[in-house]
Amino acid sequence: MAIVTGRTNDETGGGDPGGSTARRERGVGTQGSGNTGDTRGPADGSAGAATARIPEQAGTGRFRARTLPATDRVRQPVALIRLLGGLFAIALTLLLADYARATTGGIAADVAEAAALVPRPMAGLAGGLTTAAVLLLPVGLAARRLLGPDRRRALQQVSDGLLAAVLAYGATLGLGLWADSLAPVSLLTALTQPLPGGLGHTEPVYGYLAPVLAFMTASGSRERRLPWTVLALSGLAGVTGGYATPTALLLGLLIGWTGAHGTLYAVGTPDPCPRPGEVLRALRDSGLRPVEAQPAGPDRYRVRQAGHRPDLDVRILDRQAVTAAAVQRAWRRLRLHTAPDPRVLRSPRTGLEHEALVTYAALAAGVRTRRIAATAGLGQDTALIAYERLAGRTLDELADEEITDELLTDAWQQLALLQRREIAHRALVPSSLLIDDSGAVHLVDFADGDIAATELVLHCDLAQLLTTLALRAGAARAVRTAIAVLGPDPIGAALPLLQPIALTHTTRRALKQHAKSTATRAAEPDPHHDAPAPNGLLDEIRAEVLRTRPQVVGRPVRLERVRPRTLLVVVGGVVAGSLLIPQLFASEDNPVSALADADPWWLLLALAAAATSHVAAAMGFVGFVPERLNFRNAVLAQVAGSFVKLVSPGGVGGVALNTRLLQQAGIPTAQALSSVGVGTLIGLVLHLLQLGAFVYLLGFEPGGSELDALPTVVGGLAGAAALLAAVSAIPVTRRWLATRLRPLTAEVVPRLLDLLRSPTRLAVGVTGQLLVSICLIACLYCCARAIGREPSFASVAVVFLVGNAVGSAAPTPGGAGAVDGMLITLLQQTASMEQGALAAVTLYRLLTLILPVLPGWAAFVWLQRRRAL
């Protein structure tokens, strides 16, 4: 423990010390005769709980200071975000330089034409002066930082700047070597131009600006105007002098900026968290009388004041915390309708102002909360907000017997005051409910709150507090006290928002823990049963509300704008398309050219086979339903499946559509699911039988190449059998499989026995299932013949049956990507179609996946309007 001596100029705290406003604008943290001593702690960096004290009497005093148990460097998310953004900008610049050669070449020609108007002596003089200024710029910036007050931090930042400059210069050299030796000639031409005088060409990257910009960015220089002016003039002189193209100049600046942020993320930045002494100084500059500052958690301090003034709870807002919160808000804003505005670019000062505004609005509404004692800035990237400390405990710190109905009622009364003024809290978790010694509830932590909130967001607050209180007091008490204060109508209106996605991450985690504890308290835990769903408590709350208001619509509303899986599919599709489309149209196997040259008669046959498959699918569907169905509606449902499967993975959409059609036809849900299950099971068996038959027929085909896929097929079947045997041999997996197959034996098998009593209907179903595969095989075969290839029908059948089965297991809409890849690969290996496989599969997917979408949508709407779906 280090003993550090510090002096104060106004130890009694009276008045505002001279020059406090100026110091606050420059940022707190300077050394010297400030209002508190140096609290950096011992030089050896010993850990401990940091405490800074200011003597309460005038004159020289002594206080104890220990360093925070934190690392010297932290990796900030903003550095990673900027690194990724810089890499994307570099890649985009290279792509545009190569693919938009006419545009970049035109810009370079226009710049060269304008530069020719500048006299050569003047251009040379400007180039020399700006070069000297650029070389002297890092020296001046480093000297300014090292001669400043915080030399230790300045030395770290200057070292980071030097490392970033070296890495940026190395990156420019590496990119230049790659462009000269390995890059396409078109890209090299776009990045370079002949040097003045005709002696060689310019560098692909205007490299000497990159290390300067990297040093300026990584060293944390606060100077902006002068350095950027020097860089701009130097770049302009290089372009007008003919020593760089505009694209090479842009690449140099991007590499320097990206290299700086890559270095900062790799090695970290000096911890921006202020020391306790800096916190005390900022509070004294704000007119308070702090004496001692003690860490009370991440980015929080507990400050004691002189005399009988109340203690303070201080919260620190720095760039790292604000950036992490902004990324989370942006993601929630993209995903949810109820998410707050992202405020991605707000600074710590802006975040402080927002929190203070919502807190003042809550106080004006009569809500009990902590009063703001001061706000202050700690430099450019850090700010603090100080609240008058409230003695009490949070809701999660209370014992169960202390949570009375009076306390729950008081919590609802505080929320009612917020709701009346349209103020949203957004984070009503147990730590936001502070109960003082008299039992009164205070709502705290309004950092994520909003004023003039929408009705949907206000209802989310109701659902959040319902869940928070029910986790501690039970669903019945939480609902009863809520209705007693707010009435049944507001609680009923919030019921559709009572779903996990509308709640905070802390509450969702608490719901899962509650479900596990409920299962543990059960009389005899059954290992064969799954754990209770985490929304079991939500169902209890919903049941309590519906018991009071049976007419309330309790069905959850959809809050998601886009699901993560959908976003992943879209991003993956865009990336795959951007990579594959140029290769697709540049290859000899161009599907567009193949379609233009295709035989129209074979195309008509392929189209007819694809259309007939929908009728066959309807036969295979109605044949396994003992009840009488409208065959027209069944055919339209199969056509509508072409639209539904684009928004659902695998065959999930078709199963749901057929089940819904049976339900609307008056068939009970259990029997509808059984009929669909019977059709799926028999379809699987027929699929395997067809595969075996066509593999057998391949043996009679002339040539041995047709049997190349036979080992693959046999190996796949053997592997599946071995996997099934392994699963059955392990008790745990055997019980899991038995649990999953129990609905099959309990519902599907009895339904199948009923169908055996009607052999005619069963024959229709089996025939339809067989015809579906035959029609689709014929469609693929006709597509291959349309582009001039002549594979055997049996080989195409094996390709379709294997490729469609394997590819359909992919969780993508319509099996996109997986089915196509499998069909192309198998056609090349099995049907001897090294050329034309891509074009044939593209035509096949166009006829069976893309063209039916519009008719499928029309059929879907038609069935919905007639209440058949």
Residues 479-520 pLDDT 10s = 999 999 998 888 888 888 888 878 888 888 898 888 888 766
Cα separation, 537 vs 555, in Å, equals 16
Residues 6+ apart with CB under 8 A from 285: 16, 17, 20, 21, 23, 24, 28, 35, 376
Task: Kindly report, residue by residue over 228-271, the tens digit of the pLDDT.
Answer: 888 888 888 877 777 788 888 889 899 999 999 999 888 887 66
Among 348-362, 496-510, 683-697, 827-841, the least confident range: 827-841
Task: Kindly report, residue by residue over 145-170, the tens digit of the pLDDT.
Answer: 777 766 777 788 888 888 988 999 89
Residue with tokens 């059954």: 526
Is the pLDDT confidence value at 369 over 50? yes
Quick one: pLDDT at residue 6? Answer: 33
Quick one: pLDDT at residue 424? Answer: 92
Is the pLDDT confidence value at 55 over 70? no
Quick one: pLDDT at residue 742? Answer: 57
pLDDT band of residue 705 (cuts 50, 70, 90) is: very low
Quick one: pLDDT at residue 587? Answer: 52
Question: What integer is the mean pLDDT of 637-666?
Answer: 77
* Residue 496 three-state SS: helix
pLDDT band of residue 850 (cuts 50, 70, 90) is: confident
Is the pLDDT confidence value at 191 over 90? no
Quick one: pLDDT at residue 332? Answer: 63
Task: Kindly report, residue by residue over 375-395, the tens digit of the pLDDT.
Answer: 888 766 788 899 999 888 999
Among 185-189, 219-223, 858-862, the least confident range: 219-223
Is the pLDDT confidence value at 769 over 70? yes
Is the pLDDT confidence value at 735 over 80? no
Quick one: pLDDT at residue 468? Answer: 94
Q: DSSP secondary structure string, 808-833? A: TTSSSBTTTTHHHHHHHHHHHHHS--
Q: What is the number of other CB atoms lying within 10 angstroms of the CB of residue 28? A: 27
Among 42-56, 421-435, 589-603, 785-799, the least confident range: 42-56
Q: DSSP secondary structure string, 230-253? A: HHHHHHHHHHHTTS--HHHHHHHH
Quick one: pLDDT at residue 430? Answer: 92
H or E element in which residue 2 lies: strand 2-6
Share of the chain above pLDDT 90, in %: 13
Cβ(428)–Cβ(395) under 8 Å? no
Q: What are phi and psi of 654, to 5 degrees?
A: -65, -40
Is the pLDDT confidence value at 581 over 80? no
Quick one: pLDDT at residue 831? Answer: 61
Sign of CA dihedral 640, 641, 643, 644: positive
Quick one: pLDDT at residue 21? Answer: 33
Is the pLDDT confidence value at 344 over 50? no
Question: What integer is the mean pLDDT of 752-777?
Answer: 81
Question: What integer is the mean pLDDT of 683-691?
Answer: 82
Quick one: pLDDT at residue 9? Answer: 35
pLDDT band of residue 403 (cuts 50, 70, 90) is: very high
Is the pLDDT confidence value at 775 over 60? yes
Give the chain's mean pLDDT.
75
Question: What integer is the mean pLDDT of 631-659?
Answer: 78
Question: What integer is the mean pLDDT of 734-762?
Answer: 63
H or E element in which residue 53 lies: strand 52-53
Task: Kindly report, residue by residue over 56-79, the tens digit of the pLDDT.
Answer: 443 333 333 333 344 467 777 778
Q: What is the number of other CB atoms lying within 10 angstroms of the CB of residue 647? A: 10
Quick one: pLDDT at residue 794? Answer: 84
Residue with tokens 């180039």: 127
Is the pLDDT confidence value at 35 over 50? no
- Residue length, the chain? 869
Quick one: pLDDT at residue 485? Answer: 93
Quick one: pLDDT at residue 132? Answer: 80
Cα separation, 242 vs 247, in Å, equals 13
Quick one: pLDDT at residue 428? Answer: 92
Pairing of strands 2-6, 269-270: unpaired
Question: What integer is the mean pLDDT of 173-197?
Answer: 81
Is the pLDDT confidence value at 532 over 70? no
